[in-house]
Amino acid sequence: MKQFTSIHDVPDPQRLLATALRCKQNPHSFAQLGQHKTLVLLFFNPSLRTRLSTEKAGLNLGMQVMTLNAGEGWKLEFEDEVIMNGDKAEHIREAAAVISQYADVIGIRTFPSLTEREKDYQDFVLNRFIEFAAVPVISLESAIRHPLQSLADWMTIEEHKKSLRPRVVLSWAPHPRALPQAVANSFVEWMQYADVDLVVTHPAGYELAPAFSDGVTVEYDQRKAFAGADFVYTKNWSSYTRYGQILHQDPSWMITPEKMALTNEACFMHCLPVRRNVVVADAVLDSPASLTLTQADNRAHAAQAVLLHLLAGKEHQSVEQEIHQLVEMGTNH
Ligand code: SN0
């Protein structure tokens, strides 16, 4: 694997899933692999889980980890041929090249503008970084995707499914702020590779971008969607069609015990952070059906699996073989 920005960068997603489950069983296999390698994490936006779980993943592999709150540093210019006499002090061409000299792997979190749809959906900031970076880049949530979250979510579903092909419902829920579509986009994208029946439910106007929603079943009636569900994955996102807008905050879309009772005793999932009693009622979030803490736990194992495959790379064919053997031995999926 050369970079990790979406499932399309992963040569064998099932194998990555197996590696992640294997990392969970034994987080200290390959504790030397990352020795003398440096992981630099850049956060242009806030983070709790992604920051700590990715740091932990690197440390478990013996890497040195350096994290920068990049939003607080020099403001970066991403456009070419600009006269830099405004507030942006440094160009991405220098910044990415300099960081690459200190890093063996770079992780980047960059949220969308939610105003410039075309640029956001080109994943402009992430791709400019990749263009000028000399080392592999991992997305820690970009403008349009959150692949580390999706891998952790897939692990969680694998661990908790009660049938071979569970019904998984992705439900929109209200939120006071305009949020990215990234978590929902990625979840839908990864679930295409999982053995699940996926249904997306949201109010009219919250359709995901065609690149993600094409071929995906949408049920506009949330109650109908919940019937027979084995997993209810909840997330707010702002409108794609009326880009970045909150069209309404209809409280009737909140996840409540009464709605969960329509399901097949479904597990509740959310990537966190979550607004209690806006997105989901306390009684659901605090119930045994909630898998949110397991999802968060799996973030570290997912990140470790990604780093493992990145470090193994071309120069370490033997390590790839070893991962393969470990996965074959330890995980029967
Ligand atoms: C981010 C999002 O993409 O929706 C990160 C999720 C992993 N979530 C938020 O920004 C929530 C902020 C809030 O005010 O609740």
- What pLDDT was estimated at residue 18? 97
Instruction: Give mean pLDDT, residues 96-117.
Output: 98
User: What letter would DSSP give residue 268?
Assistant: E
> Does position 332 have pLDDT exceeding 50, yes or no?
no
**Averaged pLDDT for residues 318-333:** 62
Strands 267-269 and 231-235: parallel
Of 332, 329, 331, 326, which Cα lies nearest the Cα of 28?
A: 326
Whole-structure pTM value: 0.96
In angstroms, rounded to a whole number, what is the distance separating the alpha carbons of residues 307 and 152?
14
CA-nearest of 57, 128, 40 to 299 is 57
Q: Binning pLDDT at 50, 70 and 90, where does residue 321 land?
A: confident
* 3-class state of residue 45 by DSSP: coil
Q: Which residue has the tokens 């470090």?
A: 311
Q: What is the distance in A from the centroid of ligand 1 to the CA of 113? A: 13
Task: Sort 318 into a burial class: Cβ within 10 Å, 0-12 / 13-18 / 19+.
Answer: exposed
Ligand 1 near 34 CB (within 6 A): no
Segment 175-196 shows an average pLDDT of: 98
Q: Give per-residue pLDDT as tens, 24-78.
A: 999 999 999 999 999 999 999 999 999 999 999 999 999 999 999 999 989 999 9
Distance 279 CA to ligand 1 centre (A): 12
Res 128: pLDDT: 98
* Amino acid in position 237: W
Q: Best substitution site from 44, 47, 123, 179 to test ligand 1's pocket, by max atoms within 8 Å of Cβ?
A: 179
Q: Ligand 1, residue 149: give the atom nearest the CA.
A: 7
Alpha-carbon span 329 to 122, nearest angstrom: 40
Q: Which of 1-5, 166-170, 314-318 has the lowest mean pLDDT?
A: 314-318
